Amino acid sequence: MTCAEFSFHVPSLEELAGVMQKGLKDNFADVQVSVVDCPDLTEEPFTFPVKGICGKTRIAEVGGVPYLLPLVNQKKVYDLNKIAKEIKLPGAFILGAGAGPFQTLGFNSEFMPVIQTESEHKPPVNGSYFAHVNPADGGCLLEKYSEKHHDFECALLANLFASEGQPGKVIEVKAKRRTGPLNFVTCMRQTLEKHYGNKPVGMGGTFIIQKGKVKSHIMVRAHVCSFWFGLPVLVSRDPSICGFDLRLEHTHFFSHHGEGGHYHYDTTPDTVEYLGYFLPAEFLYRIDQPKESHSIGRD
Ligand SMILES: [Zn+2]
């Protein structure tokens, strides 16, 4: 597998908070961005396998849409324990968006990796979800991967945010009532692109949609009382002159009420409330980049 490495520009958290505060204001009525201690992610509502998203942050983009379209490339299966070693962080805690391992599941699915990869000291923990269309009624089925399978794989393409999973300082973003056309993640990414220009910045983490509804590939449905959890991975600009063929933003989400998928935007701008925790990434790794590319299916 090919693997290219790039060092991101890494602004201080205080600076980044200021930049995001200003940028998000153009798109949301009520914005509060600050530097805080990462909430304990092992607790409700997150219940992740680690306490935080801090330490040796990295973004990895693995594979790409050309392995999915026009035809599924059956060979493209990736073990996230191996990916963690590839990005020089064995034992990494990995969040993000990808395609589920079709060879195990028997069908294609949206994959939400939440994985503590294997290390010398700890066995791996797979808290990932996958979502697919229920053949019975055309609705959405969200399942916890580890309830049926014991591998740590995904397939075809993945956008990943990796860290040591430590507690520490993070950027907290509260954004309420969307007044502009951009979705939450696109607004953050464009803000970074505008401010940092040819010094690419990468960012990842997790957010909760506390109120409102979401549009995804698989479903649009209202669950006003429940949270949606998003796992965004974003890069302000492709740093390579030849092009890493990056997907500059990719967000999958899940919920504890049985629905999840690929996040496009919220459909309730007047009531939507986002609460997120993010960190800039130190490095970008481009793994198994497709040799031949196209621009289909990147939204
Ligand atoms: Zn997706």
Distance 19 CA to ligand 1 centre (A): 27
Residue 223 predicted with pLDDT over 70:
no
Distance 112 CA to ligand 1 centre (A): 9
Axis crossing angle, helix 184-196 with helix 13-25, rounded to the nearest 10: 120
Strands of the sheet with 169-178, listed across from one edge: 28-37, 169-178, 273-280, 202-211, 228-235, 249-255, 261-266, 214-216, 220-221
Distance 14 CA to ligand 1 centre (A): 30
Distance 295 CA to ligand 1 centre (A): 15
Residue 218 predicted with pLDDT over 70:
no
**Do 61 and 247 meet the contact criterion of CB atoms below 8 Å apart?**
yes
Alpha-carbon torsion 141, 273, 52, 64, what sign? positive
Distance 251 CA to ligand 1 centre (A): 6
**68-77, 95-104, 176-185: least confidently modelled range:** 68-77
pLDDT at 69: 85
Residue 217 predicted with pLDDT over 70:
no
Instruction: Tell me, rounded to whole angstroms, the distance of Cα 228 from its chain centroid.
Output: 13
**Cα separation of 283 and 92, whole Å?**
14
Distance 234 CA to ligand 1 centre (A): 13
Count of C-beta atoms within a 10 Å radius of residue 213: 16
Distance 244 CA to ligand 1 centre (A): 18
Tens digits of per-residue pLDDT, 266-278? 888 999 999 999 9
Distance 196 CA to ligand 1 centre (A): 26
Tens digits of per-residue pLDDT, 107-154? 889 999 999 999 988 899 999 999 998 888 878 889 999 999 999 999
Distance 120 CA to ligand 1 centre (A): 32
Distance 262 CA to ligand 1 centre (A): 4
Distance 298 CA to ligand 1 centre (A): 9
Distance 250 CA to ligand 1 centre (A): 6
Can you read off the two tokens belonging to residue 21?
Answer: 């505060």
pLDDT at 124: 97
Phi first, then psi: what are they for 201, rounded to 5°?
Answer: -120, 135
**Cα separation of 292 and 79, whole Å?**
23
Residue 219 predicted with pLDDT over 80:
no
Q: What is the CATH number of domain 3-45+170-287?
A: 3.30.1330
What pTM was computed for the model? 0.94
Distance 121 CA to ligand 1 centre (A): 32
Q: What is the mean pLDDT of residues 209-223?
A: 65
Tens digits of per-residue pLDDT, 228-287? 899 999 999 999 777 889 999 999 999 888 888 898 888 889 999 999 999 999 999 999
Distance 92 CA to ligand 1 centre (A): 22
Distance 263 CA to ligand 1 centre (A): 7
Residue 220 predicted with pLDDT over 50:
no
pLDDT at 165: 98
Distance 228 CA to ligand 1 centre (A): 15
CA atoms within 13 A on the CB side of 130: 25
Distance 249 CA to ligand 1 centre (A): 10
Can you read off the two tokens belonging to residue 6?
Answer: 């790039």
CA atoms within 13 A on the CB side of 48: 29
Residue 225 predicted with pLDDT over 50:
no
Residues of the chain within CATH 3.30.1330 domain(s) are 3-45+170-287
Distance 145 CA to ligand 1 centre (A): 17
Distance 123 CA to ligand 1 centre (A): 28
**Cα separation of 299 and 285, whole Å?**
21
Q: What is the mean pLDDT of residues 48-77?
A: 94
Distance 297 CA to ligand 1 centre (A): 9
pLDDT at 221: 47
In total, the chain counts a number of residues equal to: 299
- Output the CA–CA distances (angstroms, integers) from residue 49 to 33, 53, 128, 144, in the order listed: 26, 11, 10, 14
Q: What is the mean pLDDT of residues 165-172?
A: 98
Q: What is the mean pLDDT of residues 4-30?
A: 97
User: What residue ranges in 54-139 does DSSP mark as E strands?
Assistant: 58-63, 77-79, 93-99, 110-112, 114-116, 125-126, 129-133
Phi first, then psi: what are they for 193, rounded to 5°?
Answer: -65, -45
pLDDT at 226: 63
